[in-house]
Amino acid sequence: MILLDGKRTSEAIQQEIAAEVADIRVHGGKVPHLAAILVGNDGGSVTYVTNKVLACEKVGFGSTLIRYEDDVTEEELLDKIQELNNSDEIDGFIVQLPLPRHINSQKVLEAVDPRKDVDGFHPVNVGRMVAGLTSFLPATPYGILQLLERYNIETSGKHCVVIGRSNIVGSPMSILMAKAAYPGNSTVTLCHRNTVDLAYHTRQADIIISAVGIPGLLTADMVKEGAVVIDVGTTRVPDDSRKSGYRLRGDVDFENVAPKCSYITPVPGGVGPLTIAMLLKNTLRAAKREIYA
């Protein structure tokens, strides 16, 4: 069994980005600039956005954090998005989710210029991805592709079962694994909460990617020998032995599943660290106009 080290892979990607940014500086080019809009004071969102800003500093990007209280109006938020769309300084930006209930999240996401949509959530980028055109990919699926590629895991002709159908991970992951590319060329089965006899499908899988947020969902009897298992789930469960009072658990019963796997991601330290790295990679691509010339 080989552990897929997302932390080490993320660090390698960030080092590559930093080297490219240093080269841009030497040649007098424009340094990439990422902006983030954060509404409210949700602890998880604040931590995540703070880590994004720190990662920008680490690779030499410019960064801007724009904060609003929970009572910000939808109109005010849309005005700020339009301002960022029109800014020559900002290459890409994100609107951290979730947003307060009085704001239409889909309306906000669609207001972002697709050329600056480094989260890859705009319908134009989703459509381009489905059509096999270059696009900004959602960060988590993009990170999983990087893991598969950098560990030289064979995907062509393999049976890949994706558990979860969210627009952020499951649905785009199933599309990307079926594409005529590497990583890809897999035969894909997309499962979800209404799938009958989930174990029937997972036992046939060469590659399992689980992104549902149900701790311990995937047990050893659901996995065949030699399978590749990618665990996207990160759920906080109570743990009085820790200072925080909780620990993170994935969708996979790691202790019992790992011995059967050829490759497996840990939680934490697997897919999670790659999300920010791929956001930075998308921002670099936006600055270089690689997607929309």
Assess whether pLDDT exceeds 80 at residue 244. no
Q: What is the pLDDT of residues 131-173, one digit of tens each?
A: 999 999 999 999 999 999 999 999 999 999 999 999 999 999 9
Residue 43: pLDDT band (50, 70, 90) is confident
Which residue from 216, 221, 211, 214 is spatially nearest to 160, judged by alpha carbons? 211
Residue 188: pLDDT band (50, 70, 90) is very high
Which residue from 159, 154, 117 is spatially nearest to 138, judged by alpha carbons? 117
Q: How far apart are CA 82 and CA 84, in angstroms?
A: 5
How large a percentage of the chain has pLDDT more than 90?
Answer: 89
Query: Which one is catalytic: 119, 231, 251, 253?
Result: 119
Residue 260: pLDDT band (50, 70, 90) is very high
**In the structure encoding, which two tokens stand for residue 154, read together?**
């064979």
pLDDT the model gives residue 105: 95
Assess whether pLDDT exceeds 80 at residue 246. no
Q: Please tell me whether residue 218 adopts helix, strand or coil conformation.
A: strand
Burial class (CB in 10 A: 0-12, 13-18, 19+), 157: exposed
**Mean pLDDT confidence for 198-211:** 98
Instruction: Give the chain's mean pLDDT.
Output: 95
Residue 248: pLDDT band (50, 70, 90) is confident
Which residue from 269, 271, 5 is spatially nearest to 140, judged by alpha carbons? 271
**In the structure encoding, which two tokens stand for residue 224, read together?**
């065949």
Residue 243: pLDDT band (50, 70, 90) is confident
How large a percentage of the chain has pLDDT more than 70?
Answer: 100
Among all chains, which residue has been given the structure tokens 């307060």?
100
Dihedral (CA of 280, 286, 289, 292) sign: positive
Let me know how many helices (H) and strands (E) the chain has, helices first: 10, 11
Q: How far apart are CA 223 and CA 64, in angstroms?
A: 44
State yes or no: is 119 an active-site residue.
yes
Assess whether pLDDT exceeds 90 at residue 245. no
pLDDT the model gives residue 152: 98
**Strand partners of residue 271:** none
**Mean pLDDT confidence for 49-71:** 94
Helix (H) or strand (E) holding 105: helix 105-111
**In the structure encoding, which two tokens stand for residue 212, read together?**
């549902």
With beta carbons less than 8 A apart as the criterion, state whether 145 and 282 touch.
no
pLDDT the model gives residue 284: 98
Residue 44: pLDDT band (50, 70, 90) is confident
Dihedral (CA of 105, 34, 144, 268) sign: negative
Query: Which one is catalytic: 14, 52, 91, 206?
Result: 52
Q: Please tell me whether residue 101 adopts helix, strand or coil conformation.
A: coil
Assess whether pLDDT exceeds 80 at residue 98. yes
Q: How far apart are CA 46 and CA 40, in angstroms?
A: 9
State yes or no: is 52 an active-site residue.
yes
* CB-based contacts of 218, cutoff 8 Å, min separation 6: 163, 202, 208, 210, 229, 231, 251, 252, 253, 257
Reported in sequence order, the residue ranges of the chain that DSSP labels E, i.e. its strands, are 2-3, 33-39, 62-68, 92-95, 159-163, 187-191, 207-210, 227-231, 235-238, 246-249, 261-264
- The domains found in the chain, sorted by start residue, are 28-116 (3.40.50.10860), 139-273 (3.40.50.720)
Q: Which of 25-39, 64-78, 222-236, 240-254 has the lowest mean pLDDT?
A: 240-254
Which residue from 48, 45, 34 is spatially nearest to 98, judged by alpha carbons? 45
With beta carbons less than 8 A apart as the criterion, state whether 102 and 74 touch.
yes
Query: Which one is catalytic: 14, 80, 91, 96?
Result: 96
With beta carbons less than 8 A apart as the criterion, state whether 186 and 176 touch.
no
Assess whether pLDDT exceeds 80 at residue 293. no
